[in-house]
Amino acid sequence: MALKIKNNKSKFAPEFTGANLFHKKDLQISLVLIAVGSFFFYEATKFPAPGMILGDTINADVFPKILVVLLIFLSSIIPFEFKFAAAKIKKIDEDRSNKIQTITWITLAMLIIIVFCSSFLGTILTMVTTCLVFPIVWGEKRYLAVAIYSLLFPLAVYLLFNKVLSLYFQPGLLKIFQ
Amino acid sequence: MDAIIQGFTLLLHFENILLIFGGVIIGVIVGALPGLSSPMAIALLLPFTIGLDPVAAISMMAALYCAGTFGGSITAILINAPGAPPAVATAFDGYPMAKKGQPGRALGLATIASVIGGIFSLIIFIFATPLLASVALSFGPVEYFGLSLFALSMLASMSGKSSIRNLIAGCVGVLIATMGVHLATGVERFDFGIEELTEGIHFVPVLIGLFAMSELLTQSQTLNAVIQRMSAKSLKLPSWKELNQLKWCILRSSGLGTFIGVLPAEGSTVAAMMGYNEAKRWSAKPELFGTGCAEGIVAPESANNAAAGGAMVPTLALGIPGSGTTALILAALVMHGFKPGPYLITETPHLVYAIFGAMLIANFGFLGIGLVGAKVFSYVTFIPKKFLWPSVFVFSLIGSYSFSSSMFDVWVMLLSGIIGFFMMRNGFSPAPLVMGLILGPMVEETFTQGMVIHDSSFFQFFESGVFLIFMGLTVMSLSSPFWSNIRKAFKSKK
């Protein structure tokens, strides 16, 4: 690993090997974390002063500020971590060298859409939709099994949580049948 | 003695026994299924236990924790895919033994070693918890601040890919915990004008997101993975003669596992790996390790189950989680209105002994499951991912919504899951974040109290000897991974 880094002449080497001075991918992560930390620090400076009765002994901003400074300090080390923990960073690089597959992005989008629609659909229809859509989008070809699963699983969850444990299920669209 | 009897009596209700066995079965299933884990199961169960009797709810989770550690060994042995990280070391020799045509023997060794390791640590747990709590009772806020700093610093050596990333995740967890109204001053912090954030971010949706949703996204990349599976017709318990030969290996690993479990932030995975390495170092035939030798199975199994009991000691006596899963049990205690720490055993000793009893029952429970149901439980690996993970999503949705009947919590859950997925891809592990989130309020509270006592002078904290000791330990634990890395880097250059 050390040899690879030494021979690397470009400043921004491929992510897998890291650069001469800093690791490209980790530098990006570090910058994001520092930006988030700075934003939180700025927000902390806007906290109102506590009432007179508390004096200067307790300030709501002290602890978060210390924490953010620590976070920024640690984040600034990440781009150089490959210098002193080469084996560990190599392992991380191996993991992230595999591109996120299209199906994962689709899954992510489905999760957001289902959560977005869940207030409108209601709990039961959200469960049915989830059990129906996910397997099919993921390439399940046994449609009868999917149909049975998308009916029986939500039914079992409904009976257990709503009827036995008295959990409130939002009716959503099913309200029209009530 | 009265408290012990009271604790055990509480468990003897039919409903409680049923819940404990339910916890054992869920634990073995989630432990056996690659991708599912006991922290995830506890995170998903948390919101549903609100209506339960607190003792029963906590006991069920403690039982699930014990059984989950064991469950991972079933798939580690039969399919070479450890269901849970603590079972990784079990696969080193368990799978080769199964391939040699002795899967039943491998499962039998793992079961017996798990039970002995678990019971060994529970004996330590029952004596060490009150002792540690009595020491901690003399601690003031400054000493507690030192202790919680030490616990957070242990995140650096927690099992994960990078010490610095673990510490960053811990910092982020503590930072999230600072959101909402600051109780000492009434100042609203980091609410960004969002009404729901004035109460802060509750840990339950975050835990569900980090453990369940991020894993769902990870698993979506391996939906069509085919696994080769050994079939175990029956479980074969080791003979007395064989057990006699392995007794020192099991006892040494159990002791080591308990000790590692007691250390804040260290968990069963580290214990299993160390148990395996130590067994190899002490073995008369180290060359047999990796080829399916009995010592290579019993050492990690007794160590990881012992660590589960050991991790409960600091969790209950100090309020400092001994591992990622015990951080969730700590969260459950808080959710049910208990204040974890030394006062837990002085004020509610029956709860501590009930947890002890539940873990004891769980150990015998998974012995029974191992004897009669290992084959059945190995079939859970046949559940197709395409049906399993939508079910996990349904439970995550209901769990995060039902906690406070708020869609805001569902979005928090989803966002935590997405962030957790990208965190894991970049070497950040969710467990330190959870530890930070759970320990955060305690760290800030003790820091604030200390500052008030010492008139805002942090340097006066160093007048306390106990604080100095904890600071010394903190410096040691923070620097140890870096020194070893630097030493390795120098060696490789030479």
**Percent of the residues in chain B that have a pLDDT greater than 70, as a whole number:** 92
- Asked if residue B291 lies in contact with residue B93, where contact means CB atoms within 8 angstroms, the answer is yes
Structure tokens at A172: 């959503």
Mean pLDDT, residues A110-114: 96
Reported as type and span, the H/E element at residue B6 is helix B2-11
Confidence label for A23 from pLDDT (cuts 50, 70 and 90): confident
Q: What is the pTM of this model?
A: 0.82
pLDDT tens digits along B3-48:
777 777 877 888 888 888 888 888 888 877 777 778 888 888 888 8
- Listed in sequence order, the residues at least 6 apart from B467 whose beta carbon sits closer than 8 Å to its beta carbon are B142, B143, B145, B146, B461
Q: What is the CB neighbour count within 10 angstroms for residue B1? A: 5
Contact A135 B390 (CB under 8 A): yes
Chain B environment of A33 (Cβ under 8 Å): 168
Quote the pLDDT of residue B223. Answer: 79
- As a whole number, mean pLDDT of residues B133-148 equals 86
Work out the pLDDT band at B485, boundaries 50, 70, 90: low
pLDDT band at B342 (very low <50, low <70, confident <90, very high): confident
What rounded mean pLDDT belongs to chain A?
Answer: 83
Least trusted range by pLDDT, from A44-53, A80-89, B199-208, B270-279: A44-53
Q: What CA–CA distance (Å, rounded) separates B456 from B461?
A: 10
The answer to whether residue A107 neighbours chain B at the CB level (below 8 Å) is yes
CA separation for the pair B420, B335 (Å, rounded): 23
Q: Which residues 5-34 of A are in CB contact (within 8 Å) with B?
A: 25-26, 29, 33
pLDDT at residue B51, as a whole number: 79
Mean predicted lDDT score pLDDT of chain B: 84
Cβ atoms within 10 Å of B414's Cβ, excluding its own: 24
pLDDT-derived band at A150, boundaries 50, 70, 90: very high
- Rounded to a whole number of angstroms, the distance from the CA of B404 to the nearest CA of chain A is 11
In B305-317, which positions are buried (b, 16+ CB within 10 angstroms) versus exposed (e)?
bbbbbbbbbbbbb
ipTM over 0.95: no
Q: What is the pLDDT of residues B261-309, one digit of tens each?
A: 888 766 777 888 888 888 888 888 888 888 888 999 999 999 988 988 8
B190–A115 CB contact, under 8 Å: no
CA B230/CA B233 separation, integer angstroms: 10
Percent of the residues in chain B that have a pLDDT greater than 90, as a whole number:
14
Please name which of B299, B315, B334 lies closest in space to residue B262, comparing C-alpha atoms. Answer: B315
Facing B220 at nearest CB: one of A43, A107, A170: A107
A26 contacts in chain B (CB < 8 Å)? 426
pLDDT value at position A58?
72
The alpha-carbon gap from A89 to the nearest alpha carbon of chain B, in Å, equals 8
* B70-81: average pLDDT: 79
CA A4 to chain centre: 32
Domain that holds residue B76: 2-493
A44-48, A57-61, B419-423, B451-455: the lowest-pLDDT one: A57-61
Task: Compare A6 and B205 and report the one with higher pLDDT.
Answer: B205
Give yes or no for residue A103 having a pLDDT over 50: yes
A67, A88, A154 ranked by CB distance to B175: nearest: A67
Ranges of each domain in chain A = 2-97, 102-177
Report residue B132's pLDDT band, with 50, 70 and 90 as the boundaries. Answer: confident
The total number of residues shown for chain A amounts to 178
Mean pLDDT (whole number) for A50-69:
78
Number of domains, chain B = 1
B224 CB neighbours in chain A (<8 A) are: 139
pLDDT for position B229: 60
Please answer yes or no on whether B162 and A161 come within 8 Å at the CB atom: no
CB B172 within 8 Å of CB B161: no
Min Cα distance A13 → chain B (Å) is: 18
Structure confidence at residue A12 (pLDDT): 40
Mean pLDDT to the nearest integer, B419-442: 88
Mean pLDDT of B105-118: 90
Does the beta-carbon distance from B185 to A2 stay under 8 Å?
no
CA neighbor of A127 nearest in space, from B394, B186, B75? B394
In angstroms, the separation between the Cα of residue A177 and the nearest Cα of chain B is: 22
Mean pLDDT of B450-466: 85
Q: Are A92 and B162 in contact (CB under 8 A)?
A: yes
pLDDT for B124 beyond 90 = no
pLDDT at residue B402 tops 50: yes
- Residue range B350-365: mean pLDDT, rounded: 86
For the stretch B210-239, pLDDT in tens is: 888 998 999 898 877 666 666 666 667 788
